[in-house]
């Protein structure tokens, strides 16, 4: 029988350095995954409160708690008859000025028309209006705080959503992965130094 070969593993300090790096990543992932800082919560909020920019009477609520919503989806609307009238009047004034007004008057009328249309859009509360549309894929409705006929104030929370964000599950998975790698490399370091 041949004698057992002993394998000498070189670079055991490398195992220790990798283990320490894994430990640091593990701590970082624990902090961001379970105990997020203010900066992390700004970029990856766990709750987003949607509110109207103007006061009015709620005419329609299109979602209910537990429902899944996407960016751009309308969740509630407020009465907009005065706003629709303002858009109609601004369009009529713009057509009149375009036919017989000066260029400066046309620019002014066009600006007023754009303002009226923007005000009308504020009568709809859409997912993504107060949380970047590009950052949000899907969200769950956590709470609906208004009902039809309710009078809202500007900035008053109407609907609360929970965005589906892959940041937190990723960090929680990273915690386990780097924790396991920490112990593997510590074990390899220990074996190499026996």
Span 74-113, pLDDT tens digits: 888 888 777 778 888 888 888 888 888 788 888 888 898 8
Condensed to tens digits (0 to 9), the pLDDT of residues 22-52 reads 999 999 999 998 899 998 888 888 888 888 8
pLDDT for 194: 75
How do the residues of the chain divide into helix, strand and coil, expressed in percent and rounded to 5? 50, 20, 30
**What long-range pairs does 16-20 form, CB within 8 A, spacing at least 24?**
16/185, 16/186, 16/189, 18/181, 18/185, 19/181, 19/182, 19/185, 19/186, 19/189
Residue 144 lies in a domain: yes
Confidence of residue 133 (pLDDT cuts 50, 70, 90): very low
Domain count, the chain: 3
Residue 55 lies in a domain: yes
The pTM (predicted TM-score) of the whole model is 0.64
Strand partners, 48: 161
Residue 190 lies in a domain: yes
CATH number of 52's domain: 2.40.50.100
Residue 2 lies in a domain: no
Higher pLDDT, 135 or 39: 39
For residue 23, what are the domain limits? 8-44+166-194
Q: Walk across the sheet containing 56-61 and list its strands.
A: 124-126, 74-78, 56-61, 151-152
> In the numeric block, which tokens belong to residue 147?
């009902």
Same domain, 18 and 102: no
Residue 3 lies in a domain: no
Same domain, 37 and 118: no
């Amino acid at each position: 029988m041949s004698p057992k070969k002993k394998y000498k593993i070189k670079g055991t300090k490398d195992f220790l350095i990798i283990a320490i790096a894994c430990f640091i990543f593990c701590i970082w992932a624990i902090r961001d995954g379970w105990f997020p800082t203010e900066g992390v919560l700004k970029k990856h909020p766990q709750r987003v409160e949607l509110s109207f920019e103007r006061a009015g009477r709620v005419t329609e609520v299109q979602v209910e708690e537990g429902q899944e919503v996407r960016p751009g989806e309308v969740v509630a609307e407020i009465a907009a008859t005065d706003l629709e009238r303002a858009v109609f009047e601004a369009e009529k004034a713009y057509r009149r000025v375009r036919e017989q007004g000066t260029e400066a008057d046309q620019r002014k009328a066009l600006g007023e028309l754009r303002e009226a249309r923007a005000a009308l859009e504020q009568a709809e509360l859409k997912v993504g209006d107060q949380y970047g549309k590009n950052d949000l894929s899907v969200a769950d409705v956590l709470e609906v705080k208004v009902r039809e006929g309710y009078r809202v104030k500007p900035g008053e929370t109407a609907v609360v959503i929970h965005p589906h964000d892959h940041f937190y599950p990723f960090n929680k998975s990273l915690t386990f992965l780097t924790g396991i790698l920490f112990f593997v490399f510590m074990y390899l370091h220990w074996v190499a130094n026996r």
